[in-house]
Structure 1
């Protein structure tokens, strides 16, 4: 069996002869080296660099560069083992590249877009972005696609070329703070200065609301049934809480503080006017004289 595998599989010119056994060894070596390269790159980045203050997206870039560097070394080692010079692939690689370029245009485009995203970093791993009405966190920027985890837990896989070309909002590009707001309406006749003070106190007492930038309380409008106030405040995405949960906490505290000081949260009111002239016809019983 071994002697049969040592027979010639193909020759290149008059000097290079490749046997079936060499091809089998090369294939096994490539598969083993592929997984070993991924594991080694992961261990170097996650175990060694985890003690440093390098950001997650920088670690992903380093891991990817290490993996492809080791992969190139594997390919060169296989070619050297087979005794095949690189010049042999000059013409073949050109023809293959042209055909591969036409047949896998989207794959190459997404691959290059992924490297652009990782180098220019308009988005980074851990950023909160809004794209096509979806708000979520970037959890991975891969070779072909970017994974976004929405607030409801769903994972969205977006091709890198679409991420690069589309308009998106990066809420945490320069800092980890996101501004949000809570609206409340109080009854007419309420002490507006007291309402503003209570809202400011609620924001100042909340442990997740940032003192800088400062909370802003705005008397927004004279509504149909309420005096409308908006409280704008900043929360760090690194707090680990969703914005809707933070706003819910703020509303609970506002309700409690308003009750303590006798401030009434407004509700819709409607006045019904009856025509007194026709009131007797409205309430007259059937058959009455």
Structure 2
């Protein structure tokens, strides 16, 4: 038994090659993959347990996401340092390499580093969070994930957008749900001239407050907006809890259906473009010529 153990130790200690004055043995080549396999498996289990406890305690998706990022960075550093220690490689051996990498990064990867730092700023300051409804360059969508280089947004039409993190910090971004889910929207309608304006305003208000999705506080407001070319213009403003654009569209549609039903019930005419034609002078009958 001792002989076999001695043979195994001798085999593991057998030198294969030398790299930068560092002897690499068979044991090193076997130990390094084992360390990575066991380490990755262990760290994934720990990350899963920690994130499960965070979610159970009511932590937000952004907090869980930031914790996982930090955890995996620390875990990667531990694995690298452990591997170098097993192979008896001093960290000073990488001083020259790290300097060369730093120079290369400074000249050739400025945008990548910019987006990387911007991603960490977004995760720390949290001006944009997972689940927020954003408007960027005229496109609206929900934030699905914030990565180290880019942020993934799912637009209201189902298309995914990958936006560089630096763009979210350097440009104007409308966050509809940064503080709360309150959103104000409105519906415009025009009625024919001669309609009872007070009655029209009361019917519009009735149609608005009858919707369950519309908040009673702040109270909806009906405005007599303008004397239009073809109609008396009214607009109702109301507040809703909405996280997605399609929610607002559905609520506005429900208000329009209710307004149309009430107007039909009370004989209120929704205006449409009209033109009056006035003819001046007398009409003359032109007789056909005898040659035709």
Q: TM-score, normalised by structure 1?
A: 0.86
The match for 1:268 is 273
Is the alpha carbon distance of 1:58 and 1:253 closer, same or farther for their aligned partners in structure 2, counting shifts above 3 Å? same
Q: Any gaps of 5 or more consecutive residues in structure 1?
A: none
Is the alpha carbon distance of 1:232 and 1:39 closer, same or farther for their aligned partners in structure 2, counting shifts above 3 Å? farther
Q: Is the 8 A contact 2:131 2:142 kept in 1?
A: yes
Q: Is the 8 A contact 2:142 2:244 kept in 1?
A: no
What secondary structure does 1:83 align onto? coil
What secondary structure does 2:66 align onto? helix
Is the alpha carbon distance of 1:36 and 1:58 closer, same or farther for their aligned partners in structure 2, counting shifts above 3 Å? same
CA RMSD of aligned residues (A): 2.7
Q: Any gaps of 5 or more consecutive residues in structure 2?
A: 1-7
Structure 1 residue 43: Cα displacement:
5.1
Structure 1 residue 130: Cα displacement:
1.2
Post-superposition CA distance 1:12-60 (Å, at most 9, x none): 54xx422366246425643664576456535532x32222322221221
Is the alpha carbon distance of 1:73 and 1:223 closer, same or farther for their aligned partners in structure 2, counting shifts above 3 Å? same
Deviates more, 1:35-44 or 1:67-76: 35-44
Q: How does 1:87-236 map to 2 (within 5 A)?
A: 87-236=92-241
* Aligned positions, number: 282
Q: Is the 8 A contact 2:177 2:243 kept in 1?
A: no
Q: Is the 8 A contact 1:139 1:148 kept in 2?
A: yes
The match for 1:57 is 62
Q: Is the 8 A contact 1:208 1:239 kept in 2?
A: no
The match for 2:284 is 280
Larger radius of gyration: 2
Q: How does 1:240-279 map to 2 (within 5 A)?
A: 241-277=246-282, 279=283
